[in-house]
C-alpha cells in the first residue's frame, strides 16, 4: 500500500506571520465569494422577491436592504416555478435588468428536467454557468425536491458540490420552504454547513393588502457581528411610476415604525402592543419614543 502524502502540520505561532487577504464581497457584508446561503419561510411570504432583490443588487452593483455590491457581478438566477411571463413581470417592476444578470427557467427547459438532487444535474449546471460569481436557486423544493426527506447519499452529493462551488470562489443562495412549525423543511442538520441562513416571517399585524412584507432574521451568519445581525422589516411598495421599491428598517426601528403607524391611527398603546405582539411595557416605551421623535402628538400636560 502506497503511503499517502504527509499532512502539512506547522506550529500555530507560524500563522501569526501570515497576512490575511483583504475581505471582498459580492454583497457587503452578507455575501462573499464562496458563501453558501439559505433563504427559507412560508409560502407567499416574499422569499422569491428577496432572492430577486439580492440578484439585482449584486448584478447591478447596487444596494438592497442596506447591503451593497462594490461592483457589478455575474449572477445566474435559476427559477424552478414561475413562467416566463410571470418572471418578466416581476423584473419590469424594477426597471431594466443589469446586463450581468442571466436567468434560467424550468418552465422553458426542453429535454430532460434539471434535477439538482443528482450528480448529473449538478454537473449540467456547473457546465452551463460560465464565469458566474453568484448562483441563486429558487427553489430547492422545485429543483431538488428529493433532498428534504430523500436519500441521504444524494444530500452528500449536494454537500460535495457546494464544497466545489466554495473552492471556486462562487457564492450560492438557495431558497427553501418552511414546515408547518415555521422551521426549515427537512432535516435541519443537513443545512449546518451553510454560512448564512435568512429566515422570513410575516409580522403579526400583516394583512393580505400588505403583499410582500416580512421580518427577516439572520439565524446564522459567519461573516457578520453586532448591528449587522439586527432583524430587518421590509415591504415592497409600488410608486406612481409603476416601479417597485423597498421600504425597510433595521432592528428596533422596524418595531418603532410599525407602532408609530398604529398610534397615528388613534390606537392606544395597549392595543398597539397586542397588534404587533409586544408587551404593554414595550408598547408604552415605543409610544414615548414616538412622541420624543415628534411622530405622535403629545397629550396635554406632557
Please give the distance of CA 42 from its chain centroid, rounded to a whole number. 13
Angle at 73 between CA 71 and CA 78, to 5 degrees: 150
Task: Give the range among 149-153, 171-175, 180-184, 248-252 with minimum mean pLDDT.
Answer: 149-153
CA distance 66 to 73: 18
46 or 203: which carries more pLDDT confidence?
A: 46
Q: Are 146 and 154 in contact (CB under 8 A)?
A: yes
Domain layout of the chain by residue ranges: 23-250, 256-292
What's the average model confidence in pLDDT over 135-155? Answer: 71
- The cell for 56 is 439585482
Q: Is the pTM of this model over 0.85?
A: no
CA distance 27 to 184: 24
pLDDT digit string (tens) for 168-185?
899 999 999 888 877 777
CA distance 160 to 15: 28
DSSP assigned state of 107: G
- The cell for 134 is 453568484
Residues in the chain: 302
Whether domain 23-250 has CATH 3.40.50.300: yes
What's the average model confidence in pLDDT over 51-73? Answer: 96
Cα–Cα nearest to 120, from 77, 154, 93: 154
| pLDDT greater than 70 at residue 3 | no
Residue 23 CB burial class (10 angstroms; 0-12, 13-18, ≥19): exposed
207 by DSSP, 3-state: which? Answer: coil
Percent of the chain with pLDDT over 70: 87
pLDDT digit string (tens) for 185-201?
776 666 777 899 999 99
Amino acid at each position: 500500500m502506497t503511503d499517502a502524502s504527509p499532512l502539512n502540520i506547522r506550529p500555530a505561532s507560524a500563522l501569526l506571520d501570515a497576512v490575511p487577504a483583504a475581505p471582498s464581497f459580492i454583497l457587503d457584508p452578507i455575501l462573499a465569494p464562496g458563501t453558501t446561503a439559505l433563504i427559507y419561510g412560508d409560502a407567499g411570504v416574499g422569499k422569491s422577491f428577496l432572492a430577486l432583490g439580492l440578484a439585482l443588487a449584486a448584478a447591478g452593483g447596487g444596494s438592497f436592504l442596506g447591503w451593497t455590491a462594490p461592483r457589478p457581478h455575474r449572477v445566474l438566477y435559476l427559477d424552478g416555478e414561475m413562467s416566463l411571463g410571470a418572471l418578466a413581470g416581476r423584473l419590469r417592476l424594477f426597471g431594466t435588468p443589469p446586463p450581468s444578470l442571466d436567468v434560467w427557467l424550468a418552465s422553458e427547459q426542453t429535454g430532460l428536467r434539471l434535477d439538482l438532487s443528482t450528480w448529473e444535474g449538478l454537473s449540467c449546471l456547473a457546465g452551463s454557468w460560465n464565469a458566474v460569481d453568484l448562483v441563486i436557486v429558487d427553489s430547492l423544493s422545485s429543483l431538488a425536491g428529493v433532498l428534504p426527506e430523500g436519500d441521504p447519499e444524494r444530500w452528500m452529493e449536494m454537500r460535495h458540490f457546494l464544497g466545489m462551488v466554495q473552492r471556486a470562489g462562487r457564492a450560492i443562495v438557495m431558497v427553501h420552504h418552511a414546515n408547518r412549525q415555521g422551521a426549515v423543511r427537512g432535516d435541519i442538520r443537513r443545512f449546518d454547513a451553510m454560512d448564512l441562513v435568512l429566515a422570513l416571517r410575516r409580522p403579526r399585524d400583516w394583512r393580505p393588502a400588505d403583499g410582500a412584507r416580512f421580518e427577516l432574521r439572520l439565524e446564522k451568519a459567519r461573516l457578520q457581528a453586532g448591528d449587522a445581525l439586527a432583524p430587518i422589516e421590509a415591504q415592497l411598495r409600488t410608486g406612481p411610476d409603476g416601479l417597485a421599491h423597498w421600504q425597510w428598517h433595521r432592528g428596533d426601528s422596524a418595531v418603532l415604525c410599525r407602532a408609530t403607524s398604529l398610534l397615528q391611527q388613534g390606537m392606544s398603546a395597549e392595543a398597539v402592543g397586542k397588534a404587533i405582539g409586544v408587551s404593554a411595557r414595550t408598547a408604552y416605551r415605543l409610544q414615548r419614543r414616538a412622541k420624543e421623535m415628534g411622530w405622535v402628538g403629545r397629550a396635554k400636560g406632557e
